[in-house]
A and B are shown apart, each in its own frame.
Chain A
């Protein structure tokens, strides 16, 4: 196990370092699927150049990073080739955190199971988790993290989305380590970087509430004690966020960065193609419906918090993962870096995979889209032999693939839960085996 993980680390780093010497980073850094106007390294450099010339980077409409990140990048950029290796270091850093997360997660899963095992049905030995099942989880997660093309391309393109991904991983890490203050800090950092993670307050609040109340019996999710706990988590996150924004304002000297960053995320003025559903929809939208549909699409990105919070209140970690996945599909400027993060964390739910129904179809869709997106982009933009619809079609399919994956995972998770309490063989009273359906 340790050898495998070590090897994966080495292979991951070597692959990245070798690819950095080729022309691939340059090619990838211009790919709309990999970078967005929010995360492009080129725009960071533009911001740095403007800052150097005493022009506020937020004066124009090219730079959309946050002031603190700009400061960090300024430091990184001072080293020769610093930015290149910075992102490799970030990946390794994330790898280390992920390793710790998987270990903690295995423990968490087993305690959770031990709590509920009394209520489980009798014939669930087959699907019950054992520590040996969770032993290799670390190497799976690390393998996906280091070797999936989405994370590699993000690293090569020097997409600053890596920083928000790191914040989300830290959030996971401190949540599983039961550190409320640090966990809320990283909610704030992630929100500060990419806005949407503010909804992650919900799973974190649920997690810390269930952690406080040790016995499962007296756990009520709408008691005043619970509400107090939720409020505390939310207020802490808001407090941290305010501190970060205040610091940025002090650094920048004005609040103008708010519109350039969060205004840019919310109002979607840049319609450059990406893997999401926003760009072509709002390119072709009728002017008088634009505001309405922007509201609808932005609400859609966060609205899943409510039903999932109710349904998954006993499984806040899975809830957290679902929200990360859903926002990565429906955010206004999604990219492969979000996909990379979701896929990296996917092996954590390996025990539910046997319940998934269309993993083959989803895998094919992922592969096809990843291959065809640059091809159709080339045909549209360079060769002129295709038009926008071709690329739009591929981004739609990609979104659909992600939706299929996330809903399938939710189905698998819920179906497994059902089996845990009702047994794996489903028989009617008259002894006939039967199917399970949603009612």
Chain B
């Protein structure tokens, strides 16, 4: 009876709401994967990359699909719909990823915080929405992203293309993208807490239980990432899903505490063992890169992996040990994954990755300065790169001084996109497209001039200096040497094993720079105001005097001035008194005369 009633109701409903989207009552289809990727690095460090991927069959264009949530965090969903976000990429990083020693990370991030967002084309006023969005995201993740105002925001033309599904017409303009970075931002527990709250299992079960802040922030490198983008729902790519990728990368140096041995284990490094998997996750796996064990085994993993996968990606052979956390922790067992090394770490020359960069400040004094960026290309082929630089307005970038030198020959960029900065309102934004010759070092250098700020514009501890954003280098590699990023189709680590592509998009961030600016004396505004006004008053007073008065001869008998007047008054009084006395005397004399 009840079933028939329900059917009738639903039929009625369908009839009455043909215009409404039928997805309302459709089941929420979503999927969550948790993965941990571990890569022992040749320098003795160990790289841990936690990857949480939520795919949700919802449509950005359709606000109705954001009414029912299951695994996708609702708080984030609200932010995305309110500000009409198409793609959002946030990274919060402590420390610098050393490309020359560590190769490439899964997702590159600059020191500090970085946010870049593609907005939906239906958006009305983009700059206002951006400023509202940064405030919302800032509140959400406890970062200072609210400082990303027009002074530190750019609209990159080539460097930050949409990462997810996007139509050609939409992505060919940089109209809808905004990029901002805060190189000074310090990342700590207060950023981790809101980030891990977005995980479906939080920190109760699964990989989340390994997030012990005291260990995570005692690392050489630490990066929290959050990327939202539309991805293809199926191979036809007619419909899109939303993918939320949360990642946490940490690089530890176990040899420091371990007497030169690289031995590591989850317990030792992260402070805990895995005792459960997230029941909401469709897959919960750990991958350990054991490529360095070929041909000669240098470390042994314990416990033994569930399977070992050997894959070839971009012409490079790799081996991964795979652990299924569900299997490993079944029956109340705990997983304390670890590696034992046969020998202490040997600090040999490390083969650097195909392309990496190094950037530094040149010059001395607080007047002018320069920046030099060396880009190393170790490939046997030429490589076209996009170089992006955003400089704050107070380091006035001289476009004429920009030079790109390769093997002592000046090279001209194919394309230049330069937005000059404006004092107190816009940063300098530069994008260059040029070619790196095979096996060469390309040097980009330019000059800047330090501005003098108002005393209120200096931050506390003004002499610490000001940070300059990392430069961003984007390119497409023909080889996957050292490459760990996931392919375009999915953020899940596992999919990278099936990646058959021959081109690999790479983005690397260089060092942030610290520039000190000349400072005024903060302690004496009153003195300065008084002194400067005095000088003006000298001129004003003198000219006022000379133009409003005339020359006269000084008559010493006519004394002027207040004092003279007062004196004159006294003298007058005295005179009148003496007159009176003299009168009296004359009276007396008269009397005398009369008497006589």
Report B410 CB to chain A, min CB distance, Å: 14
Contacts A271-B452, A414-B551, A436-B554 given: A60-B421 contact, CB under 8 Å? Answer: yes
Chain B, residues 470-502, CB within 8 Å of chain A (1/0): the string is 000000000000000000000000000000000
The smallest C-beta distance from B515 to any residue of chain A, in angstroms, reads 14
Complex Cα distance, B420 from A49, in Å, reads 12
Which B residues lie within 8 Å of A49 (CB)?
399-400
Query: Which residues of chain B in 538-554 are interfacial with respect to chain A, using CB atoms and an 8 Å cutoff?
Result: 538-540, 542-554
Contact with B along A301-313 (1 / 0, CB 8 A): 0001001101100
Which B residues lie within 8 Å of A48 (CB)?
A: 400
A439 and B529 contacting across the interface, CB-CB below 8 Å: no
How many B residues are at the interface, by size bracket? 35 or more
Stretch at the interface among A12-20, A187-195, A281-289: A281-289
B539, A407: Cβ atoms under 8 Å? yes
A 404-439 contacts with B by CB, 8 A:
404, 406-407, 410-411, 414-415, 418, 426, 428, 432, 434-439
* Chain B neighbourhood of A428, CB < 8 A: 553, 555
Once the chains are docked, how many angstroms separate the CA of A49 from the CA of B546?
A: 50
* Cα distance, A258 to B587, chains bound together (Å): 89
C-alpha spacing A307/B548, complex, angstroms: 8
A46 contact from B400, B451, B540, B544, Cβ within 8 A = B400
How distant is the Cα of A407 from the Cα of B543 in the complex, in angstroms?
A: 6
Q: Given A270-B451, A311-B546, A410-B543, does the pair A382, B551 have CB atoms closer than 8 Å?
A: no
A103 to chain B, nearest CB (A): 30
* Min distance, Cβ B121 to any Cβ of chain A, angstroms: 26
Name the residue on B nearest A389 (C-beta). B521
Contacts of A388 on B, CB cut-off 8 Å?
518-521
Contact B543 A61 (CB under 8 A): no
Is B367 interfacial (CB 8 A cutoff)?
Answer: yes
Q: CB-nearest residue of chain A relative to B418? A: A55
A348 to chain B, nearest CB (A): 19
B456 and A287 contacting across the interface, CB-CB below 8 Å:
yes
Contacts of B365 in A (CB 8 A): 381-382
Pairwise interchain contact A283-B422, C-beta atoms closer than 8 A: no
Is A326 in the interface zone, CB < 8 Å from B? yes
Contact of A284 among B367, B396, B451, B455 (CB under 8 A): B455
Residues of A within 8 A of B536 (CB): 277, 297, 300, 330
Residues of B close to A403: CB separation below 8 A? 535, 538-539, 542
Given contacts A308-B547, A330-B536, A396 and B531 within 8 Å (CB-CB)? yes
Is B525 within 8 A of A284, CB to CB?
Answer: yes
Is the beta-carbon distance between B539 and A438 smaller than 8 angstroms?
Answer: no
Residue A133 at the chain B interface, CB threshold 8 Å: no
Residue B528, interface by CB 8 Å: yes
A273 to B550, CA, bound (A): 38
Contact in complex: A436, B552 (CB < 8 Å): yes
A196 CB-CB contact with B under 8 Å: no
Q: How far is the CA of A190 from the CA of B507 in the complex (A)?
A: 52
- Chain A nearest Cβ from B542, distance in angstroms: 4
- Tell whether A62 is near chain B: CB-to-CB under 8 Å: yes
Q: B416's closest neighbor in chain A, by CB?
A: A53
Q: How far is the CA of A392 from the CA of B531 in the complex (A)?
A: 10
* A61 with B398, Cβ < 8 A, contacts A380-B518, A403-B539, A418-B551 known: no
> Residues 258-280 of chain A: 1 if any B CB is under 8 Å from the residue's CB, otherwise 0?
00000000000111110001011
Contacts of A382 on B, CB cut-off 8 Å?
Answer: 364-367
- Interface flag for B423 (CB, 8 Å): yes
* Residues of B396-447 whose CB lies within 8 A of A: 396, 398-400, 416, 418-424, 428
- In the complex where A304-B543, A410-B543 touch, is A435 in contact with B554 (Cβ < 8 A)? yes
Complex: chain B residue closest to A388, CB-CB: B520
- Shortest C-beta distance, A393 to chain B (Å), equals 8
Decide if A310 touches B398 in the complex (CB within 8 Å): no
Contact of A326 with B539 in the complex, beta carbons under 8 Å: yes
* Residue A329 is within 8 A (CB to CB) of chain B in the complex: yes
Complex alpha-carbon distance, A326 and B418, angstroms: 41
Q: A400 contacts B535, CB within 8 Å?
A: yes
- The interface residues of chain B lying within 8 Å CB-to-CB of A270 are 423, 451-452
Question: How close is A221's CB to chain B, nearest CB, in angstroms?
Answer: 15
Instruction: Report if A102 contacts B (CB, 8 A).
Output: no
The answer to whether B547 and A300 have CB atoms under 8 Å apart is no
Q: Which B-chain residue is minimally distant from A430 (CB atoms)?
A: B557
* Contact yes or no, A434 B554, CB < 8 A: yes
Find out whether the CB atom of B542 lies under 8 angstroms from the CB atom of A415. Answer: no
B499-539 contacts to A, CB under 8 A, are 518-521, 524-525, 528-529, 531-533, 535-536, 538-539
Residues of B within 8 A of A432 (CB): 556
Judging by beta carbons under 8 Å apart, are B528 and A53 in contact?
no
How far in angstroms is the closest Cβ of chain A from B99? 31
Instruction: Indicate the member of B525, B540, B549, B552 with the most A CB atoms within 10 Å.
Output: B552
Is B452's CB under 8 angstroms from A283's CB? yes
A109–chain B nearest beta-carbon distance, Å: 21
Nearest-CB residue, chain B, relative to A436 = B551
Q: Which of these, A285, A300, A329, A406, contacts B525 with CB under 8 Å?
A: A285
When chains A and B are docked, how far (Å) is the Cα of A403 from the Cα of B535?
8
Question: A310 to B547, alpha carbons, bound, how many Å?
Answer: 8
Task: Judge if B453 is at the interface, Cβ distance under 8 Å.
Answer: yes
B454 at the binding interface (Cβ < 8 Å)? yes
Q: Does A115 contact B (CB under 8 A)?
A: no
Q: How far is the CA of A272 from the CA of B454 in the complex (A)?
A: 10
Q: A270-B451, A284-B525 are in contact. Are A61 and B420 (CB under 8 A)?
A: yes
Cβ-closest chain B residue relative to A402 = B539
| Sampled A-B contacts (11; CB under 8 Å) | A30-B367, A53-B418, A59-B419, A270-B452, A277-B532, A280-B520, A284-B455, A308-B547, A407-B538, A407-B546, A439-B550
Q: Using A270-B451, A280-B532, A410-B546 as known contacts, list a sample of 20 further A-B pairs with CB atoms less than 8 Å apart, ordered by residue number in A.
A: A50-B400, A55-B418, A61-B396, A269-B423, A272-B452, A273-B452, A280-B528, A283-B454, A284-B525, A297-B536, A300-B536, A329-B539, A382-B366, A388-B518, A403-B538, A403-B542, A426-B553, A435-B553, A436-B552, A439-B552
Q: Which residues of A contact B (CB under 8 A)?
A: 30, 42, 45-46, 48-50, 53, 55, 59-62, 269-273, 277, 279-287, 297, 300, 304, 307-308, 310-311, 326, 329-330, 380-382, 387-389, 392, 396, 399-400, 403-404, 406-407, 410-411, 414-415, 418, 426, 428, 432, 434-439
Shortest Cβ-Cβ A-B pairs, 5 listed: A60-B420, A49-B400, A407-B542, A307-B547, A281-B532
